[in-house]
Structure 1
Amino acid sequence: MSFRLLLIDDDEIFIMMSKFMIKESDFHPSPLSFEDGLAAADFLKNNYQPNDRYVIFLDINMPKMDGWEFLESIKEFANPSNTFVFMVSSSTDDEDVAKACKNQFVLKFMSKPILTDTLIQLKEMPELKQLFKDGK
């Protein structure tokens, strides 16, 4: 079983560092990156396949479409059983954390940056473990 990894963040440095950590931890060989939620939502809407798996690292504050609006937009076509979102933000606002935890797609709220150790731990989550057992 393969999966697509999407990085959605308007911070170029965060994207660059995250791609390095993702490859370093053998999390995914070729993540796709988007600088706003609208571009990512459009990509998913046009490419979403019910039998594929999607892991998404999503920022909250972005231009054009923020993380909350992105989550709302994918409800039209995506399914939480194959679309796994990690909110990755510099925000430590308790309301953001609570809101993320209530969303059907969000598995976890994480603080920036994404570290290799964190990615290794994510591989062991029950929702993702099968993705790595079967290979990418």
Structure 2
Amino acid sequence: MIICVVDDDPIFHYVCKVNFSSLCDDLEFLTFLDGKQAYDYFICQSDRGNALPDIVLVDINMPVMNGWELVDHLNNRHLLDNTELYIVSSSVSPEDSFRSLSKKAVTGYVTKPLLKENFTHIYHDAIQKYNV
């Protein structure tokens, strides 16, 4: 399983890696500090015919390219068709939650800090949906 975290907080990367590693023995874990880095990776992988992540967690507020821009760019290129994408944010604004769920490519909106149950739910949903 390939899991990608796009967030400008390296501590959040670590928390995600620890939690997903406890759920999956065969884990490829990717991290990016901004949306542009992640977008470039997705484009390169797609152009080469390589597998794209099964699960992507995207923060909203990041430098260079924010989460909304990343989701829109990836969705426009149909690079999220077989991906469970979650917006993860410390924002409890109803507008952010509504905006994320109005985007076709977004599976869900989760507020930080993520709990163990959040990781378990995200992981199991991906397994059931795509038989990863």
Q: Same fold (TM over 0.5)?
A: yes
Unmatched segments (≥5 aa) in structure 2: none
Q: Percent identity?
A: 25
* Alignment correspondent of 1:113: 113
Q: Normalised by the size of structure 2, how large is the TM-score?
A: 0.85
Kept in 2, the 8 Å contact 1:58–1:86? The answer is yes
CA distance in structure 2 between the partners assigned to 1:28 and 1:71 by the alignment:
26
Residue 113 of structure 1, CA deviation: 2.5
Deviations 1:19-42 (A, max 9, x none): 111112228623100000000000
* Alignment correspondent of 1:97: 97
Unmatched segments (≥5 aa) in structure 1: none
Which range moves more in the overlay, 65-74 or 112-121?
A: 112-121
Aligned residue pairs, count: 130
Q: 1:21 aligns with which of 19, 22, 26?
A: 19
CA distance in structure 2 between the partners assigned to 1:28 and 1:105 by the alignment:
25
Q: Normalised by the size of structure 1, how large is the TM-score?
A: 0.83
Deviations 1:55-101 (A, max 9, x none): 10000000000000101111232244312210010001111000000
Kept in 2, the 8 Å contact 1:5–1:28? The answer is no
Q: What is the DSSP-based 3-state SS (H/G/I as helix, E as strand, rest coil) of the residue aligned with 2:55?
A: strand
Kept in 1, the 8 Å contact 2:2–2:27? The answer is no
Kept in 2, the 8 Å contact 1:97–1:109? The answer is yes
Kept in 2, the 8 Å contact 1:9–1:15? The answer is yes
Which range moves more in the overlay, 52-61 or 85-94?
A: 52-61
* Alignment correspondent of 1:55: 55
